[in-house]
Amino acid sequence: MGIMQGKVVIVTGAGRGVGRGVALDLARAGAAVVVNDLGVSLTGAGDETPVAEQVAQEIRAFGGRAVANGESVASWQGGRRIVEAALDSFGRIDGIVNNAGNLRDSLFHKMTEEEFDAVIAVHLKGSFNVSRAAAPHFKNQGSGAYVHMTSTSGLIGNFGQANYSAAKLGVAALSKSIALDMQRFNVRSNAVAPFAWTRMIDSIPTNTPEQQKRVDGLKKLVPEKIAPFVTALLSDAGAGVTGQIFGVRNNEIYLFSQPRPIRTAHTSEGWTPETIAERVFPMFANDFYPLLRSGEVFTWDPV
């Protein structure tokens, strides 16, 4: 009897990398898994690779229960059909892991509308579509859990990823809103920033010694290390955990801060642009956050 025995979980983008590791771990813990993946390239081009079915077969080979699903999370109807696959195959739904993703990296001043929309559609709208489709079922049964994959590209920042960063910070906010709105129905929602060497980041350039050093460090990050934390969050053991943002980096687990006021300025006379420039900016300057990238914050080797 595993920690997820009797539960049914959907994992999107589960054909490779982090999603595959999560799907396998959930199945080993006793869950029935809907393995969702389009089987396309990182940019969304079709290559018709049946990766979802391959992972489902891996699960069935060790005695687990799984079905493959190839619907797109980016469509409202696709999200509904993914949830229906769980209900049709296993009769219920207990958890959602919103992991499906794509990339269209470009510097902001060069980014096209299509590059922005394509990433928002999968990461942010896709997380909404699948989560929203499951919400009535969670509400009616008085239980359920969401895990949404965010990223330090959104929580902290990165070069050339305005679309991805905006989507991933939006995912963290979506998770918090779901936690607030669904708490009364005993439904939980948390966000996880995974650190892992997958095809989502293996296109990072290595043109300089500094870039090569960073990539060498990233290659030490094992996708499968993310899975146990996700499984624990979805299990009944995580019943008291909701509305949080976590990170998992090999054997390290982080709880991230959330925005709260850290300084205040006030005046009984009211502010003018001149007094703000004279008094507020200098007062706050020591507490301004520098323009750092994720890699400049997480500077130590993974444990």
Q: Which residues are catalytic?
A: 164
User: H-helix or E-strand containing 193?
Assistant: strand 187-195
* Alpha helices (H) in 160-302, listed in sequence order: 162-182, 209-218, 227-234, 273-275, 281-284, 294-297
Find the Cα–Cα–Cα–Cα dihedral 58, 59, 60, 62, rounded to 10°.
90
In the beta sheet, which residues pair with residue 247? 193, 254
Q: What residue type is assigned to position 80 of the chain?
A: R
Angstrom distance (rounded) from CA 296 to CA 37: 32
Question: Which residue, 176, 213, 18, is CA-closest to 97?
Answer: 18
